[in-house]
Chain A
């Protein structure tokens, strides 16, 4: 949730469906641009082809391949197959609604239920912005059947995020659990095996975490001491580790395409003595990631194949897949090291929040107050 402060939302990356309000239908938006939204947006949930924006007054705005508005919403979670709303129902009850995105919030939802498994009333102070985790913290929703999943009661979940094949959970004590598919190391248990049930990340035990973020096949978490940990797939440099594909792209870009003798330059960007830096395709357990200039991480979000982090001093760093401009560095290059998004520095904006869609990035920033 965003504090009461004058600020604005910015967006960059894939906008082929016009899902970033006011930016038109453009395949790539390479640099942050202010979003043109009419009302005070406090929360954003971005799917691939559309985005849901929630105002402080509880109004949901849909932009992109679907459009429309709905009132009385406390929380929203957007995915291609399902739009999930936590909505004020009749008689001060709160209802969990799942809509087919194409229904544009007209007619009936696909299904609607009590958010609580046992029908307990939702208090007014229930945390908002936790979807896909329900406020009760015992249940979460996902786009695939059975749609509603129960969590073991001992897991006092504070936050939950879903990747393409895995799930990350942060509990009240700051411990991280993961489960689901693990073929790209995204579970962080040091193997490529899948886990059917939430399993504690032992490598992080004793390090209380403040936030988790799940990308398509990678995972990130921010500790209470403002350190950053990454694990999972690094095929586009989304873990800020050396990525083979980025090095190969550099080689072919400088050459003429097919090298006549086929003798490609084998040494790649690496150490000074010419030894190639080892590429890392998969990082199966958490690795500490240092941001440039000793910056401290206070927030993180992941797209399919990119990562964005907000620092304590209000800067935004991004890395990973950049083809659609989702890194915000005015080009479509992918990066395997953290780079600051200079736009916010130039405009003297303090970044407060970042939320990534699969191929784009949404940022809430406020103006720097000069002291």
Chain B
């Protein structure tokens, strides 16, 4: 398909080219009215330059289109961003990736291209039959077959060894004595009807045992495995104790960097890979998890279920908040201390008044300012320590507070 300056049988390049549409006219997007004429022209030019083998100029044009789309993606609330702009972004990422990987390429080109692809997956929308997923697979395979990603000794420890290594440090991450608190009820593999009648319909929390404990992730997932499957992939990380803090921020880094910086080494801040649809980005990991059958009791389709990964060191905190959908929180690695408050008691939880944070309580659950928030002291709650293999059902709008007691990996399912 592409004429031009291919090197003698560059396996990576050939594999990438094989993913492109067979005829060069098909390397395009049907964008419609939503996308400004100027950037549409620029993308057309970029594709022409690509087919003409003008790598440098193609890269510049793709970069400009990418930057323009980035501005559109940052205009207005994310949910209102037109899908067309996310497609432009993804398409620009694709072209940029191809330019970077075309031989002759630099030593760091493939890692850079992988990052670009991940940005396209994180911020863009599926194009050309979700081509970026296939491109990423090719790039990842090439990276692995070359050098092994950094294998400094600390990264090869199992999570058990890590836990004991960190025991001294963990003393400040104390597990509360939940026997003094009202416990979330537990059930072993309830029937659909039983769950629907006693928990889903009345909106009552419950811990489901025996449902997820045979998912492959429960046996397979470890720091090693995660690094092997996803180490060089770029993910969003939250830095700071909790999202209500002033010095809280979000940043991007590879999974390897995240583990190295916030899990295995002495970290100054808390880093949390939180609320990220990791399994859309890395479908290989999706095979290791199931979807709770009880989701079929909802009115939505299975494709509409949002699956998020929550991966971080001990001490990560999600401040008390509520979500607009039903939630199954499945624990895979480590334990989490969780408190649940009923929506009926919302007043005693002093939600923020701003639109941005109206679903978040102002109260620090484990260190409440009772002078400022007096009603909180009497607000009833349920609590638990959620352990690997267990699923917590958090009914829609039920207030929940979560603190990780260990290195933790949870998977949440938001459904309606």
Task: State which of B38, B257, B265 has its C-beta within 8 Å of the C-beta of A50.
Answer: B38
Task: State which of B36, B76, B257 has its C-beta within 8 Å of the C-beta of A165.
Answer: B76
Whether A16 lies near B64 (C-beta < 8 A) is: yes
Whether A262 lies near B355 (C-beta < 8 A) is: no
Alpha-carbon distance A48/B254, docked complex (angstroms): 33
- The stretch from B66-74, B214-222, B324-332, B375-383 touching chain A is B66-74
Would you call B60 an interface residue if the criterion is a C-beta within 8 Å of the partner chain's C-beta atoms?
yes
Chain A residues 275 to 298 lying within 8 A of chain B, measured CB to CB, are 278, 281
CB distance from B204 to the nearest CB of A (A): 35
Instruction: List, in ascending order, chain A residues with CB within 8 A of B259's CB.
Output: 262
Alpha-carbon distance A263/B37, docked complex (angstroms): 45
Task: State which of A14, A181, A193, A260 has its C-beta within 8 Å of the C-beta of B64.
Answer: A14
Whether B75 lies near A266 (C-beta < 8 A) is: no
Whether B75 lies near A164 (C-beta < 8 A) is: yes
> Digit string of B31-48 for contact with A (CB within 8 Å is 1, else 0)?
000001111011000000
CB distance from A252 to the nearest CB of B (A): 11
Would you call B145 an interface residue if the criterion is a C-beta within 8 Å of the partner chain's C-beta atoms?
no
Would you call B256 an interface residue if the criterion is a C-beta within 8 Å of the partner chain's C-beta atoms?
yes
Would you call A304 an interface residue if the criterion is a C-beta within 8 Å of the partner chain's C-beta atoms?
yes
> Digit string of B327-366 for contact with A (CB within 8 Å is 1, else 0)?
0000000000000000000000000001110000000000
Would you call B261 an interface residue if the criterion is a C-beta within 8 Å of the partner chain's C-beta atoms?
yes
Known: A16-B61, A48-B68, A192-B356. A65 touches B37 (CB 8 A): yes
Instruction: List, in ascending order, chain A residues with CB within 8 A of B355's CB.
Output: 193
Q: Count chain B CB atoms within 10 A of each CB in A261, A262, A263, A358 and give the residue with the most.
A: A262
CB distance from B350 to the nearest CB of A (A): 18
Interface residues in A, total, Cβ within 8 A: 38
Would you call A244 an interface residue if the criterion is a C-beta within 8 Å of the partner chain's C-beta atoms?
yes
Instruction: List, in ascending order, chain B residues with CB within 8 A of A323's CB.
Output: 67
Would you call B152 an interface residue if the criterion is a C-beta within 8 Å of the partner chain's C-beta atoms?
yes
Task: State which of B36, B77, B249, B260 has its C-beta within 8 Å of the C-beta of A281.
Answer: B249
Whether A257 lies near B37 (C-beta < 8 A) is: no
Nearest-CB residue, chain A, relative to B256: A262
Known: A101-B37, A260-B150, A261-B260. A49 touches B67 (CB 8 A): no
Nearest-CB residue, chain A, relative to B77: A183
Whether B265 lies near A193 (C-beta < 8 A) is: no
Would you call A258 an interface residue if the criterion is a C-beta within 8 Å of the partner chain's C-beta atoms?
yes
CB distance from B265 to the nearest CB of A (A): 6
Would you call B299 an interface residue if the criterion is a C-beta within 8 Å of the partner chain's C-beta atoms?
no
Instruction: List, in ascending order, chain B residues with CB within 8 A of A17's CB.
Output: 38, 41-42
A-B contact pairs, 6 of them (CB 8 A): A49-B38, A193-B356, A263-B265, A281-B249, A304-B71, A324-B64
Which 4 A-B residue pairs are closest in the complex by CB-CB distance?
A262-B260, A49-B38, A80-B36, A27-B60
Residues on A lying within 8 angstroms of B by beta carbon are: 14, 16-17, 27, 47-50, 65, 80-81, 101-102, 164-165, 181, 183, 191-193, 216-217, 244, 257-258, 260-264, 266, 278, 281, 304, 323-324, 358-359
